[in-house]
Structure 1
Amino acid sequence: MEYKDTLLMPKTKFKMRGNLPNKEPKRQEHWDENNIYEKVQDRTKGRPSFVLHDGPPYANGNLHIGHALNKILKDIIVRHKSMTGYHAPYIPGWDTHGLPIETALSKNKKVDRKKMSITEFRQKCAEYALGQVDGQRTQFKQLGVRGDWENPYLTLTKDFEAAQIKVFGEMAKKGYIYKGLKPVYWSPSSESALAEAEIEYHDKRSPSIYVAFDVADGKGVLNEGDKIVIWTTTPWTIPANLGISVHPDLEYVVAKVGEDRFIVAHELLETVAEELSWEHPEVVKTFKGKDIDKVIAKHPFYDRDSIVMLGEHVTTDAGTGCVHTAPGHGEDDFYVGKSYGLEALSPLDDKGVFTKEAPGFEGLFYDDGNKVVTEKLEENGALLKLSFITHSYPHDWRTKKPTIFRATSQWFASIKDFRQDILDEIKEINWYPNWGETRLYNMVRDREDWCISRQRTWGVPIPVFYGEDGTPIITDETIEHVSNLFAEHGSNVWFEREAKDLLPEGFTSEHSPNGIFTKEADIMDVWFDSGSSHQAVLLTRAGHQRPADVYLEGSDQYRGWFNSSISTAVAVTGKAPYKNIISHGFVLDGDGRKMSKSLGNVVFPSKVLKQYGADILRLWVASVDYQADVRISDDILKQISESYRKIRNTVRFMLGNLADFDPKTDRVSDAELEDVDRFMLHRLQQLVKTVRESYDKFEFSPIYHAIHNFCAVDLSSFYLDFAKDILYIEASDNKRRRSLQTGYYEILTTLVQLLSPIIPHTADEIWEFIPGVEAESVQLTDMPEPREMINLNEDKWNHFMKVRDDVLKALEEARNNKVIGKSLEAKVTIVPKDAETKEVLESMEHLHQLLIVSETVVTNNFVDAKEYRYVDVAVENHPGEKCERCWVSSETVGEDHDHPELCTRCASIVKENYSAQ
């Protein structure tokens, strides 16, 4: 007889190798063909809704690793909620308007917009955007993200645009929308105004100049010819200078240097003197800033006055305490100039080129003007010093080129009118991480009015008409009519029709006695588009609601989508559009560096999928503390792959040992379980509790570590290891064997359910091999609830596991000292050090099996035992012979004459179950 044929060895077709890059696409096809998303929604219909509202990525280009982190996090949350008592639909969205699409058409597609009408160009933009949506949708699905991919929300669709118009109209109705001349961030490279959310900061090398303005009328405080010293890093703004600002309460001095008398803040005199190489400046006069209010200085090269003004914005952080003021090129400058009746002079056109309002510089690009203006100052004797500095400077986040402040007539949303309402709402939201509340609160608190108009083509038009006298016309009637037109025809209708054909039939206005109207040419900021999604999506899609339960985006969205969404929602409804805000950090390389093509350290999701598979990438997402910046590299992914392999092999072992197990007939009740199986199921319940609590707190790395630790320590190093002597050796329906299989079955199904939100491809694959499961997919089941295990002495087992650690150390030392080879060659004598340990060991059935040795002796004394923490242990080579079937060393080998190579235990099993062989 071949004794190996009498062993119940593991049998399963579940492969050891995941082969994820090849298997996952087929599984995704299977999900599509079987409408798994719809089946999940049907199963959970009627439950309380949980809505994670998708922040729309921009529809341009392939996905980067940040996209993958974001979408996988969302998918984990939505999948978990649909398995824990909620109806959790997921509608993906895309931001489809804006300059990058216009630029991509011009540069990449070689579209000449000058050779076509606005509507033709907009149609090209729409086609391009939809193509980008298709490409990104395919890539998101490859990540295993489950959602209503056939019905996403897009900011270019008719229904979305119509809803956005209503948001604008409601804000206008409440008086929050106005048109005004103010300096705004202006991008010469985009030829458009920008919002704060469209600004990013990069280092820029700029000229640093000190300039003297001669006093013309000192108002009895200063002498004619005294020189007020200013400092600036934007020489190009000097042609727009109309004044000099000083702080009313700062102390200023007249400092005599040679024959010249210079005015600077007293606190900065030493610094300025060092910068300008003044030797022993003599203070001949001190006064407060308010004493020189309305003093008149001369512009350094134009025949016009530069008035001294009082401004609270002046500081002594840098410069001279006397601030060059160009009301058309700075926010503080604008407001202080306005209070003194100065115009907002801005002698630049949309491209950043000087106009005729800057004589001598007309036709010059503003940045090139720095050198020419500086030369002019030097020529006139006004330049005191020129040097260069590198400093952080605002750039257009799309073109990556520097911006300027430029006074233009723009449409604004008056944040100040409902700022306190936003701040109050921020306090009511749950923040993950907690510092998010402070970050958004401070941003809103310090935010100026929101410039919502853009001088572009591809976007939602600002639905404003103008009367013959230039008065803007926004009424409930016009808003409703335009919204309905957009709902029927799309926003292209605004460009296709004349103003009169966009107005309600028979519309009249006191501002147009002759019935002649014009329409606004500007479009809305794209942040107004996505910021209106709470109206366009949450109020219209099945299963959705406002406020949403969660908005989850990168930490850059505190100034972006989180900000624009709460601004429009509070303006329209008085309430925030979300209950919880979750933000994640940026993805860095393995050394903690920002990814860049020039460094060659960019990790592309597509490459990770081809090399490792989506579930490895998803497991990486679950492993990191995503609320901070995270790292990824090939080495990190290899470590994740090892963890995945550990989980997969653990699962495979359990599946193999359930080959002859039918849960309907072979399952053992809790009351009949063996004590060790009861203990392991208790450990499983602890795992379930930990995992579910972490899911509920949106913390996934504790889940990853808890499950990995459970597989590696509780299972592989203990429960799966000692059990081989029962599962392989005993008869199929042996009570202890069925008890073990019952434990395996519950552990296996539970682990798969706990892991399903994180590694759904693998979870579904495992599910197909589990005997007796009824649901076609683990996605169509609910997470297990932790339960109480009856008749368990947990303290006993926890103490035994500590004692076991001592014995394992003794076995390892014996192995190193060549006393034994494998642990089954060992006979172990154990001397308990205390009554509790003695009681625990003596209560343990099958102690030698639990310790995977051939024999254990528990005694009160043993001379050669080595001392450990809880027990003294002696390890010796077992004197018996090795059984050819179970490999246990036993002195009973040979006692059965029919099977002399076997121990009596194995001989009995063989006779009872395999005698026919």
Structure 2
Amino acid sequence: QPFKKPWRGIQHQNWFPWTPTRRRRTTLNVLPKKIDFLEVEEKWQRRWEEEAIHRYDWGDDSRPVFSVDTPPPYPSGDFHMGNVLNWTYFDIRARYKRMRGYNVLFPQGWDCHGLPTEVAVEKAKKMRKSDVPPDVFRRMCEEWIEQYIAKMKTAVQRLGCSIDWTTEYRTMEPQYMRKVQLSFLKLYEKDMIYKGEHPINWCPRCETAIADAEVEHDHKQGRIYTIPFQAPGGELLIATTRPVYLPACVALGVHPEDKRYNKLIGEKATVPVFGQTVPIIANDEVDPTFGTGAMMICTYGDKADVVAVARFNLPVVNLIDGKGVLLPVAGKYAGMRIQDGQKAIVEDMRGAGLIREEKTLDQEVGLCWRCGTPIEVVNAKQWFMRTISLTDKVVETAKRITWYPDWMRQRLIDWATGLDWDWVLSRQRVFATPVPAWYCKNCGKIRLAKPEELPVDPRVTVIHDECECGSTEFVPDTDVMDTWFDSSLTCAIHAGWPDRQDWRRQFPASVHPSGQDIIRTWAYYLMVRHLALFDETPYDSVLINGMVLGADGRKMSKSLGNFVSTPEVFSKYGCDAPRQWAAAGGSTGTDIPFRWEDVEYGWRFMRKLWNACRFTSMRLEDYDPAADAEPRLLDRWIASKLQATIVKATDAMEACDFMNAAEAARNFIWHTFCDDYLEAAKTRLYGDGDGKTAAQHTLYATVATMLKLMAPITPHITEAIWRTMSDPETSINVSP
């Protein structure tokens, strides 16, 4: 058939731009011979911001909404190749949906609070945070973090992310903290937040509680010591890695079916060195094959102790203070740091002949995620959020939502079902969202802030109120909240909660992007927080990216010497080339190696694309879209190949399979179009008549379509070509 209507075969899901409304005489500009990719990128980034094409239209209720729950990063100042991978994933998804006609909400925030900032400020100012009032130290932290936000924002913009910068926020801003504190009050009203005394993970170096999700685990070689307890009938040998906990030993446990020890159940034993007597109890959790088969129960050597103490209602002996220093219960070892006390006790037991056996042991050690210090389990009064009661709902929700890739779902389920206690919310720091509470000085009753008083910092705000007991004096709660309590509300806050009436139009988030290493934190905390607050899932889907590996196959890191800086990459190749590396480097959710040759290939592909489109623009100078011509067999062949590519690329994009989407488009452009079709069609393009017209129709339609296929991945070069050859007034980024 002649060109009187579009080819149906090239219209799959509206990618193809050839419509009857465009059938008019067109003057096409010829692309210049030379191109500076860096200049092109800077030009279009400025132009996009001026034209506001990435802005979310809050007043448009005619189009479907696609909202991205952009994780607000901690602004360390270093935008590394892992960030390039993450943000490229976010941006490809946002750009693709925008081209499909969605009203895309792609916000950006900065997760400012946290211990690293406090430590950096103390080091820079050569002071301790306790040297100045909390509000003064907080201002110092805010000033410090702003400089790193500026650096990271520049890098995100340099990558060409289609973010709506009018949505930018900082978690340290008063209005953001107001929303976090308001959610605290609402969860307290629902009995989902409480204050209680409970064993918690504690970092002696940071001097603060940390949640289970903040504990890193590492395998280290330690020592295990077999030591004698005096029991009826002789010695009862116990194998332990931590003799330092002998002063806090409150029981010995044996398996009730262990014939070696079950006759001792109900008797008492004497603790070596410290002399207290403790009961010998039946505990079916004891592994008869580990060590000697008998277990020392202390408060608290590990989580097994926590379970045993609660199960058997055993007493709690506090062994260390907040700095990890041994308390008076440790006798002559009091005042020592726990690691020094361990060495001293072991040395004294050796001297007294109380170590029957000593050998090395490979063991898993819990470490603070910030400083790497071994964590301790201590009993403390803290604020908690009830999360264990939500486990079944978390599992049910995780199974219902979509995961890219699907198998990452199990990581969240395994984490949720493996937790032992509720989320410890409170922290003993300064630079974080304050707990909005005071206590009556007379009776100790909690006085929570009222919604109209938010945001509030009880450490610097004096309230004028009267308690039920008649007292008018209140003391502040000096704790702050876990930084994850800030960032686990983003789905609702991005949507406009609590200030916009229509916030549910943007909620749940269409996609929550996350690294595989933070599923247990960001993805999990978002889910439990929103389930508790709104009884709804916060996101419809989760998009997972993996780690970036260095040339040596290990995770890219400055400390390992395999680090590649983004300025080095951007200055040499621009950003569209590394964006191709990120998209095509591996399957979604898997670790991706960084190879310079992959970026080089992306750069060479752009040269190929530019040259092919320049040749096309030269052959279309006399092009008349209204002219009819019957397509030749070659034209129909390229149309069928393009149709197959559109189907493959679109299906891949829908599944967040960016690797196959990129490869389908690049292979078609480089090999099928450039190597095969252009070479074969040149004779007609240099000639006259219907053959030339048919080839021109084919060229114009094919180039326009293949530019759209690449636009989410390489937005700058495709925009430059599109605005020159197709439509100078309309961005390819919003073209259907």
Instruction: Output the TM-score relative to the length of structure 2.
Output: 0.90
Structure 1 position 359 matched with structure 2 position 323: no
Taking the TM superposition and a 5 Å limit, the aligned residue runs for 1:419-568 are 419-447=391-419, 448-468=421-441, 471-473=444-446, 478-479=448-449, 481=450, 483-486=451-454, 490-491=455-456, 493-498=457-462, 500-501=463-464, 506-509=465-468, 512-540=469-497, 545-568=506-529
Partner of 2:556, secondary structure, is: coil
Q: Which residue of 2 aligns with 1:763?
A: 718
Residues 89-127 of structure 1: CA deviation (Å, up to 9, x unaligned):
211122111101101111245354233211100111122
CA contact (8 A) 2:669 2:706 kept: no
Q: Are 2:72 and 2:111, in contact at CA under 8 Å, matched by a contact in 1?
A: yes
What is the distance in 2 between the residues matched to 1:321 and 1:648?
Answer: 72
**Cα offset for 1:306?**
2.5
Is the Cα contact below 8 Å between 2:208 and 2:428 reproduced in 1?
A: yes
Counterpart CA distance in 1 for 2:438 and 2:652 is 53
Separation in structure 1 between the aligned mates of residue 409 and residue 382 of structure 2, nearest angstrom: 30
Question: After alignment, is 638-647 or 465-474 more displaced?
Answer: 465-474
Partner of 1:792: none
Alpha-carbon deviation of 1:386?
2.8
- CA spacing shift, 1:431–1:469, aligned 2, 3 Å: farther
Aligned position for 2:568: 607
1:28 equivalent to 2:36? Answer: no
The one-letter amino acid of 1:33's match is: E
Question: Aligned to 2:610, which of 648, 652, 661?
Answer: 648
* Corresponding position of 1:581: 542
Indicate yes or no: 2:227 matched with 1:204. no
Aligned to 2:181: 165
Contact 2:427 2:479 in 1 (8 A): yes
**What's the secondary structure of 1:306's corresponding residue?**
strand
Once residues 437 and 472 of structure 1 are traced to their aligned partners in structure 2, the CA distance between those partners, rounded to angstroms, is 42
Supply the distance in 1 between the matched residues of 2:618 and 2:693 (Cα, whole angstroms). 14
Stretch deviating more after TM superposition (644-653 or 298-307)? 644-653
Q: Is 1:571 the counterpart of 2:532 in the alignment?
A: yes
User: Residue in 2 aligned with 1:781?
Assistant: 735
3-state secondary structure, aligned to 2:65: coil
Amino acid across the alignment from 2:598: I
The number of residues matched between the two structures is: 703
Matches for 1:312-323 after TM superposition, within 5 Å? 312-316=284-288, 318-323=290-295
Q: Residue in 2 aligned with 1:660?
A: 622
Q: 2:658 is matched with which residue: 700, 707, 726?
A: 700
> 1:179 and 2:133 equivalent?
no
CA contact (8 A) 1:553 1:583 kept: yes
Counterpart residue number, 1:838: none
Mapped partners of 2:583, 2:613: distance in 1: 19
Is the contact made by 1:153 and 1:537 (CA closer than 8 Å) also made in structure 2?
no
Q: Pick one of 246, 252, 257 that aligns with 2:254.
A: 246
Please name the residue that 2:208 is paired with: 192
Give the direction of change, closer, same or farther, for the CA distance of 1:423–1:674 in structure 2 (3 Å limit): same
Contact in 1 for aligned 2:30/2:725 (Cα 8 Å): no
Distance 1:658 1:13, change over 3 A: closer
Q: In the alignment, residue 425 of structure 2 is paired with which amino acid?
A: I
Summarize the Cα distance change of 1:227–1:108 in structure 2 as closer, same or farther, 3 Å threshold: same
One-letter amino acid of the structure 2 residue matched with residue 186 of structure 1: W
User: How does 1:704-715 map onto structure 2 within 5 Å?
Assistant: 704-715=662-673
Please state how far the C-alpha of 1:605 moved relative to its aligned partner: 1.9
Tell me how far apart the structure 2 counterparts of residues 639 and 598 of structure 1 sit (CA, whole Å): 28
- Check whether the contact 2:252–2:297 (CA below 8 A) recurs between aligned residues: yes
Relative distance call for 1:719 and 1:577 in structure 2 (3 A) is same
Q: Is the 8 A contact 1:466 1:517 kept in 2?
A: yes
Name the amino acid aligned to 2:658. F
- Per-residue displacement from partner, 1:824-851 (whole Å, max 9, x unpaired)? xxxxxxxxxxxxxxxxxxxxxxxxxxxx
Query: How far off is 1:508 after superposition?
Result: 3.0
1:143 to partner: Cα distance: 0.4
Please report how far the alpha carbon of residue 16 of structure 1 lies from its aligned counterpart in structure 2 after TM superposition: 5.6
Deviations 1:500-523 (A, max 9, x none): 34xxxx5532xx343333232111
Deviation at 1:246, TM superposition (A): 2.0
The 1:17–1:352 alpha-carbon spacing in structure 2 relative to 1, beyond 3 Å, is: farther
Please give the alpha-carbon distance, in whole angstroms, between the structure 2 residues aligned to 1:15 and 1:592. 41
Give, in whole Å, the separation in 1 of the partners of 2:198 and 2:302.
9
Report if the CA contact (8 A) 1:211-1:229 is conserved: yes
1:740 alignment partner in structure 2: 695
Deviation at 1:574, TM superposition (A): 1.7
Identify the residue that residue 556 of structure 2 maps to in structure 1: 595
Query: 1:233 pairs with 238, 241, 245, which one?
Result: 241
Residue equivalent to 1:628: 590
1:891-906, aligned counterparts within 5 Å?
A: none
Matching of residue 344 in structure 1 with residue 316 in structure 2: yes
1:13 CA drift (Å): 5.1
Q: Report how far residue 205 of structure 1 moved.
A: 4.1
The answer (yes or no) to whether the contact 1:184–1:408 under 8 Å persists in 2 is yes
- Of 348-357 and 449-458, more deviation after overlay is shown by 348-357
Quote the offset at 1:453 in angstroms: 1.1
Q: Mind listing any 5+ residue stretches in structure 2 that lack a counterpart? A: 1-27
Matched AA of 2:659: S
Is the alpha carbon distance of 1:391 and 1:603 closer, same or farther for their aligned partners in structure 2, counting shifts above 3 Å? farther
Amino acid at match of 1:760: P
SS in 1 for 2:74: coil
Aligned residue among 676, 679, 682 for 1:721: 679
- 8 A contact 2:708–2:718 mirrored in 1: yes
Tell me the distance in 1 between the aligned counterparts of 2:476 and 2:637: 75
2 CA distance for matches of 1:600 and 1:418? 43
What is the CA distance between 1:529 and its match in structure 2? 1.1
Q: Distance in 2 between matches of 1:537 and 1:358?
A: 51
Q: Which runs of 5+ in 1 are unaligned?
A: 1-10, 254-286, 783-917
- C-alpha distance in 2, partners of 1:463/1:44? 37
8 Å Cα contact 1:106-1:112 kept in structure 2: yes
Give the Cα–Cα distance (whole angstroms) in 1 for the partners of residues 525 and 560 of structure 2.
34
Corresponding residue number in structure 2 for 1:790: none
Q: How far off is 1:549 after superposition?
A: 1.0
Q: Encode CA deviations 1:436-465: one digit per residue, 9 max, x unaligned.
A: 222111211121211111111111122233
Tell me, yes or no, if the aligned pair for 1:159 and 1:536 is still in contact at 8 Å: no
CA distance change for structure 1 residues 192 and 769 in 2, over 3 Å: closer, same or farther?
same
Which of 665, 671, 676 is 2:634 aligned to? 676
Structure 1 residue 165, shift from structure 2 partner: 1.7
686, 691, 695: which one aligns with 2:649: 691
The answer on whether the counterparts of 1:68 and 1:143 sit within 8 Å (CA) in structure 2 is yes
Question: Deviation string for 1:640-660 (max 9, x for gaps)?
Answer: 333333333333332332233
Deviations along 1:860-890, one digit per CA (max 9) or x if unpaired, are xxxxxxxxxxxxxxxxxxxxxxxxxxxxxxx
Q: Is the 8 A contact 1:207 1:235 kept in 2?
A: no
Q: Which amino acid aligns with 2:730?
A: E
Alignment partner of 1:37 is 2:54: yes
Contact 1:301 1:380 in 2 (8 A): no
Q: String of CA shifts for 1:45-73, please: whole Å, max 9, x gaps.
A: 63011111111111223112111111111
Q: Post-superposition, which runs of at least 4 consecutive aligned residues in structure 1 deviate over 6 A?
A: 42-45
| Pair 1:133–1:311, CA change in 2 (3 A) | farther
Residue 651 of structure 1 aligns with an amino acid whose one-letter code is C
SS in 1 for 2:105: coil
1:708–1:535 CA distance, 2 compared to 1 (3 A): closer
> 1:89 — aligned with what?
105
- The residue identity in structure 1 corresponding to 2:452 is N
1:575 positional shift:
1.7
Q: Secondary structure at the match of 2:318?
A: coil
